[in-house]
Structure 1
């Protein structure tokens, strides 16, 4: 699983984002891997309308129901726009534990998948009781550094895999922070992860297809 958070990078909004989507579709055909893209909310509809096999996620959604919540992200709205899932509790958009549980329950009721982020193994294990689709462990100090967690702190991956699976064997485990190459991904998979969550390694790339191809080699 290759999950790519497009965050708020201008390089992947609108028509530029569709170039990344097109490259992702080619990589899926060539390597038979799963790819998730999480674009800006304003791009969810156009991404989902042009996607064939890439799964489109929201970057966040709020634990609210339809009503007077100016500026909030309504779960039903992202589903209506075509998203099949959402990222939850990213280090740049954190939620408290009560709201995490609410959002996951709402997602389940709407048949939306979830990537629940945690900053360490202990938190990942504790949050796995909420039964997200994926748990993504990302040490915040490595995010955006280009220093891969799979090499800098491999014990975090091993501990997360062991601790999470002791509590919930169904949840799939992603790792993130500093993932930049196929070699980084290969190492993460060898340590027991099911995939990776990354951002700038792709969004800041000058050639989306070539970058994705390099990353996809790690899944061989």
Structure 2
């Protein structure tokens, strides 16, 4: 079970969260990654935690002011990237372009989608993983694994029908160890979460509670 903590643009200390994630990952054996703001990638990577970018743009080297270049992300120490998060949606052609961009420096990829139909379309583009995240549950206190377990099961089936090698993650509202266990039991290979750790007074304690049932 992979746990990816998205720090979004929350006013948290990315190094504190990264150090906590690295400690919890080492002590528990659970794979925990952190996706900070692009400006914090290098500092987060230096903690030794698995570091992911929140986005890479569908561009190559050139005149692309304001874009996030995949090679720059990799040079900063990231090993993977999210693509098409509900808060940064892309057209299908641009998702494909971002996947091509991520492949150049060898970044792992997870493409986010709202429902099983979109999961199938995303899986067909060949990412390493897809993540089902109903937008109405993002940032809330109710996880998709408990609020709508069928959507997780259907997403797992949809991805498998297209490409069984594509992992399926569960996002939106994940904040407790029970949520992680529920996602696992529904067939998910990992979880995406944000506020449950990024907004916690004690990120390490929050992460320990998340992985303890595993």
Specify if TM > 0.5.
Answer: yes
Displacement of 1:189: 0.3
Q: 1:120 aligns with which of 112, 115, 121?
A: 115
Distance in 2 separating the partners of 1:201 and 1:135: 21
What is the RMSD computed on CA atoms of the aligned residues? 0.9
Partner of 2:7: 6
Matches within 5 A, 1:1-220: 1-11=2-12, 16-51=13-48, 54-218=49-213, 220=214
Secondary structure (helix, strand or coil) at the match of 1:57 reads: strand
Greater helix content: 1
Distance in 1 separating the partners of 2:158 and 2:92: 19
Q: Could you tell me which runs of 5 or more consecutive residues in structure 2 were left unpaired when the two chains were aligned.
A: none
Distance in 2 separating the partners of 1:132 and 1:98: 14
Displacement of 1:105: 1.5
Secondary structure (helix, strand or coil) at the match of 1:30 reads: helix
Q: Is the 8 A contact 2:58 2:100 kept in 1?
A: no
Distance in 1 separating the partners of 2:56 and 2:84: 10
Aligned length: 213
Q: Which runs of 4 or more aligned residues in structure 1 lie more than 4 Å from their structure 2 counterparts after TM superposition?
A: none
TM-score (norm 2): 0.97
Q: Is the 8 A contact 2:56 2:102 kept in 1?
A: no
